[in-house]
């Protein structure tokens, strides 16, 4: 097979997975369609496949409505986040050290800067879960903020071209959260709410 033909085939597979099936989150219909497509494709090359079913959570959401002192901000619900209606004082956290020192109980926490620079692994993810991710999740759960606003930066290495990206994508994380661009979170939200 020529390299041109291989490139065309690869482009076809990517188009089917990324355009024809745009939502592939675990537990969704798109995830099942992508799994079926993969199994059928590799079977066409003579490979045997097995698919092991497991229970998982799917998720749907409404829009996020975030406002401070009458000003509205563009924010998006974090995948798998619990919903909430909260009015509370704002605390801004930029580093793990600031998170360790912060009193978050009963407050809304704005995570920005260094602490919001890369997507955090789900707390029960068994394959890869860095210590600093687990520490952030632990501190947030034990300090009990009422909600989290994550102003995420551009993380080309971790999430590619997605901007803003959800800091949390975790069905086991029980603190409601939204995410927004770094510019929206710092320049508009922080100045209005801080």
Residue ranges per structural domain of the chain: 3-44, 66-193
Cα dihedral 170, 173, 178, 179 in deg (nearest 10): -50
Mean pLDDT over 83-97 rounds to 94
Q: DSSP strand E in the chain: where?
A: 66-68, 71-73, 76-77, 90-93, 108-112, 147-152, 177-181
Instruction: Give the angle subtended at the CA of 140 by the CAs of 137 and 144, to the nearest 5°.
Output: 145
pLDDT at 157: 64
192 has pLDDT over 70: no
Mean pLDDT over 48-63 rounds to 79
pLDDT band at 166; cut points 50, 70, 90: very high
pLDDT at 88: 95
Q: Out of 16-25, 94-103, 120-129, pick the least confident.
A: 16-25
Query: Both tokens of residue 27?
Result: 């537990």
* 76-77/108-112 β-pairing: unpaired
Instruction: Give the angle subtended at the CA of 117 by the CAs of 176 and 185, to the nearest 5°.
Output: 60
Which overall architecture, per CATH, does domain 66-193 show?
3-Layer(bba) Sandwich (3.50)
Query: Both tokens of residue 98?
Result: 């600031």
pLDDT at 182: 87
Cα dihedral 156, 61, 175, 180 in deg (nearest 10): 40
CA dist 92 and 105 (Å) reads: 13
Classify 144 as helix, strand or coil: coil
| Average confidence score pLDDT of the chain | 88
46 has pLDDT over 90: yes
């Amino acid at each position: 097979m020529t390299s041109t033909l291989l490139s065309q085939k690869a482009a076809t597979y990517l188009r089917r997975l990324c355009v024809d099936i745009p939502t592939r989150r675990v537990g969704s219909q798109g995830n099942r369609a992508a799994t079926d497509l993969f199994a059928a494709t590799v079977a066409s090359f003579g490979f045997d496949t097995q698919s092991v079913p497991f229970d998982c959570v799917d998720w749907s959401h409404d829009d996020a409505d975030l406002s401070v002192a009458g000003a509205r901000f563009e924010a998006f619900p974090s995948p798998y986040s619990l919903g909430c209606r909260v009015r509370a004082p704002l605390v801004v956290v930029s580093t793990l050290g600031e998170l360790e020192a912060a009193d978050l109980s009963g407050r809304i926490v704005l995570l920005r800067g260094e602490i919001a620079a890369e997507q955090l692994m789900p707390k029960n993810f068994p394959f890869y879960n860095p210590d600093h991710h687990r520490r952030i999740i632990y501190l947030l759960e034990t300090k009990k903020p009422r909600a989290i606003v994550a102003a995420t930066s551009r993380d080309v290495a971790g999430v590619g071209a997605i901007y803003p990206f959800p800091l949390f994508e975790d069905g086991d994380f029980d603190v409601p959260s939204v995410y927004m661009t770094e510019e929206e979170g710092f320049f508009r939200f922080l100045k209005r709410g801080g």
